[in-house]
Structure 1
Amino acid sequence: MMWPSSQASKILTFLLLVIVVYCICMDTLLFLRIQNYKIDVFDVETNVTHESTTLKETRALPSYEESTWVPCTINPLCHPTVKALMVDHINHYIYGPLCAIVDMGLGISENMKFITPNMISFFHVFVALVGAKLVTSPSLASRRIGVVLFQIRMFLDDLDGHVARERKHIKGEKSEVGTLGYWVDGICDTLGVIFMMIGITLYLRNNPPRRGYKNTPASTLPYHQLKEINSTEDIEKDHTTDNGISYKTKVTFQKIVQVIGLFSGQMLLSSLSWNRYIDIYQDLLENCTEYDVIRRETMFKSGKFFFASGIWRITNPHSYLHALSLAVFCDKTWCFLKTIHYIGYLGLVVSVGISEFLTDNIRSYVMAGIEGR
């Protein structure tokens, strides 16, 4: 261990509490910023077909960039976009500003033109490979270093996008579907996740979780439980005493692969769904300039869309990875995987169902402007 477990638990609990409170406060400030200030992507005068004075008053809102004391170069609230509203809290509120600070400090975007976003993507695959090797270690200290490396990989994943946007002078996050950078980034992210899951699988294979009965009086141990253990698990008999028998059971490698496979399936479905709804919302609210701009802006500012996007801030694949990293760091990997390998699918089904319903509502409202022309 890197430090006493009791001390580590206290420090980690405190840090988690601070991060949760920070993210809740930032979400609140983000919602207020969207409501009370101009949104860059809608600050145009084309396709204003709605005649409602109330809606048109939103065009006269002040500029957030001129009102905030935190420079927009590091302020994650300055340029809200569809994707920014659907990125997980850690990447948006912590890694995003850190990327801007590192970029300004090193001058990557301006002075290091030889470092391309794709090069950063390839490098974080290497970091993930090293992290995966450390995660296989029986030493908790080594596994924790591996988790730190995986978090560095996620930071670098944010950095490549930040550098690409800075060099193209793009404000706010945006998925450029179909571009070379889009595919390179996606493939490198996938490789990083695969390495992490392989590392965890190898660790659990070499250090299989155990379950069973310890120091249980033989007279009170039900016969059907003993029979069930003998028929389904590999039993190790530690010792026999006058007071009873102590049994431990190894979880089979087949079970380990099954649980990790189900969790990986959740990651895949979460990634596909997350990217799908980013594309849908970008097309409805940002890309389709033929739709009434006031209707698009009004829907973007609505609590309905903030809720619709907020669902995927929690259930997107990056959130899964943060939770898994925390479980590995706390030496609760198997407990976490066992808990979520079925329940996670239920959460995804609920998220997709709610999103489909809200998407239809958003589409109907935005496209009503065309029908009313």
Structure 2
Amino acid sequence: MIGPSSQISKLLLTLLLLLMVWYIYMDVNLYMRVQNYPIDRGSIYDNVTFSYSDVAWISCDINPLCDVTVKALLLDHTNHYLFSPLAVIVDNLLKIDDVLWITPNMISFFHVFVAILSAKCISSDSLAYRRIGVLLFEVRTFLDDMDGHVARARKHIKGERSEVGTAGYYIDGICDGLGCIALMIGAFVFLKSNPPRRGYMQLPTTASPSEKEKDTMVYKAKVTTKKVVIKIVCYSIQLIISSAAWNRYIALYQTLLESNDVNLDTYNRQTIVYQSSVFFSVAWLWRIFNVHNLLHCLLLAVFCDKLWEFLKAIQYAGFGVLLGAICVAEIHVADVKDFIYRRIVSF
């Protein structure tokens, strides 16, 4: 184990509380930034006479509040407020953007290797190795941010955006999927080797168990493996649903709110939606329930040695929560389409 268990628990709890306070603080600032300062969308109608960069006390190069985009609003807190600025800092130090032979796709392929190494550690019986696996998968997540940063920097794209339909978009998605598959396989191998304790049959104390005891042990093992498979499959399906829905709403909202080939009236309506509390609330909902945040929760459960308890708690509840979030987003998308394109006066 990495350090005494009580010390690790106290340190982890303190870190979680600090992160939660930091995320809430940044969310409040993000909402105020959207409400009070113009959003530069690269449109001819943009009013840039007074921008957020004029009052920001941190350089916009690493400030996640400067370049507001649809994807940034739907991005989970850890990626938006920690890994994305860190990717910029690392790039500024190492000048990865200037090394042309290092392509974003190469970084994507490399973080699949890191994910496989992480899964190997997570499948271990040792809690110390599993915690190392968690840290490795977070490194993979950081590299996922890095490949996107390098791709945008070389195309001079400001802010978080998904270039839907490009080769890089699909390669990045495939590599992310492979990383998630590796993680779930690692979790399955660990749980299969270390099944849940409730309902256990105590191992026989005799050197040679009877045939009846052997049959019972085999039956118990089969039942336990079946339960593990069900839990892993259910959570994997939730990850797929979350990923598909999250990417869908990023694409839809980008089309609705960030299209520049529009007239002034439509642009003004886009701005109204962008600054509405309803849109911010829907975006915040997907900050919490997008696939990246679900993976962070899974990794936290592994780190705390509560993987089985977490999978059991979310096995069915997760589907209900995702269905609710999808329903809310679908209703809002329909309302936004009506408001922007059908000239409905009230929103």
Does the CA contact (< 8 Å) of 2:62 and 2:89 recur in 1?
Answer: yes
1:221 corresponds to which residue?
Answer: none
Residue from 247, 253, 261 that aligns with 1:281? 253
Residue from 317, 322, 341 that aligns with 1:343? 317
2:275 maps to 1:301: yes
**CA distance in 1 between partners of 2:259 and 2:3 (Å):** 51
1:256 corresponds to which residue?
Answer: 228
AA at the equivalent of 1:13: L
Q: Deviations over 1:302-355 (max 9, x none)?
A: 111101111110000000000000000010000000110110000001101111
AA at the equivalent of 1:150: F
CA deviation after TM superposition for structure 1 residue 113, in Å? 1.3
CA deviation after TM superposition for structure 1 residue 289, in Å? 2.7
**CA distance in 2 between partners of 1:302 and 1:370 (Å):** 16
| Runs of 5+ consecutive residues of structure 1 not aligned to the other structure | 47-58, 213-233, 240-247
CA deviation after TM superposition for structure 1 residue 290, in Å? 2.7
CA deviation after TM superposition for structure 1 residue 363, in Å? 1.3
1:266 corresponds to which residue?
Answer: 238
Residue 303 and residue 42 in structure 1: after superposition, are their counterparts in 2 closer, same or farther (change >3 A)? farther
AA at the equivalent of 1:131: S
1:15 corresponds to which residue?
Answer: 15
AA at the equivalent of 1:15: L
2:208 corresponds to which residue?
Answer: none
2:261 match: secondary structure: coil
CA deviation after TM superposition for structure 1 residue 78, in Å? 0.5
1:72 match: secondary structure: coil
Residue 115 and residue 307 in structure 1: after superposition, are their counterparts in 2 closer, same or farther (change >3 A)? same
Q: Deviations over 1:214-238 (max 9, x none)?
A: xxxxxxxxxxxxxxxxxxxx62267
Residue from 348, 352, 359 that aligns with 2:326? 352
Q: Deviations over 1:68-121 (max 9, x none)?
A: 1211110000000000100000000000110000000000112x1111100100
**CA distance in 2 between partners of 1:2 and 1:178 (Å):** 43
Does the CA contact (< 8 Å) of 1:36 and 1:61 recur in 2?
Answer: no
2:332 maps to 1:366: no
Does the CA contact (< 8 Å) of 1:274 and 1:316 recur in 2?
Answer: yes
2:145 corresponds to which residue?
Answer: 158
| Equivalent residue pairs, number | 329
CA deviation after TM superposition for structure 1 residue 360, in Å? 1.5
Does the CA contact (< 8 Å) of 1:73 and 1:100 recur in 2?
Answer: yes
**CA distance in 2 between partners of 1:42 and 1:369 (Å):** 24
2:48 maps to 1:74: no
**CA distance in 2 between partners of 1:272 and 1:347 (Å):** 15
Residue 42 and residue 293 in structure 1: after superposition, are their counterparts in 2 closer, same or farther (change >3 A)? farther
Q: Which has the higher strand share?
A: 1
CA deviation after TM superposition for structure 1 residue 210, in Å? 1.2
2:29 corresponds to which residue?
Answer: 29
**CA distance in 1 between partners of 2:269 and 2:261 (Å):** 11
1:210 match: secondary structure: coil
Does the CA contact (< 8 Å) of 1:42 and 1:297 recur in 2?
Answer: no
AA at the equivalent of 1:26: M
> TM-score, normalized by length of structure 1?
0.85
**CA distance in 2 between partners of 1:303 and 1:22 (Å):** 21
> TM-score, normalized by length of structure 2?
0.91
| Runs of 5+ consecutive residues of structure 2 not aligned to the other structure | 206-216
1:322 corresponds to which residue?
Answer: 296
Which has more radius of gyration? Answer: 1
2:187 maps to 1:197: no
Q: Deviations over 1:51-80 (max 9, x none)?
A: xxxxxxxx4772111221211110000000
Q: Output aligned runs, 1:92-103, within 5 Å.
A: 92-103=80-91
Q: Output aligned runs, 1:37-186, within 5 Å.
A: 37-41=37-41, 43-45=43-45, 59=47, 62-110=50-98, 112-186=99-173
1:3 corresponds to which residue?
Answer: 3
Residue 122 and residue 60 in structure 1: after superposition, are their counterparts in 2 closer, same or farther (change >3 A)? closer
CA deviation after TM superposition for structure 1 residue 369, in Å? 4.3
**CA distance in 1 between partners of 2:28 and 2:75 (Å):** 15
2:262 maps to 1:290: yes
1:236 corresponds to which residue?
Answer: 202
**CA distance in 2 between partners of 1:123 and 1:271 (Å):** 21
Residue from 307, 311, 323 that aligns with 1:333? 307
2:212 corresponds to which residue?
Answer: none
**CA distance in 1 between partners of 2:153 and 2:48 (Å):** 28
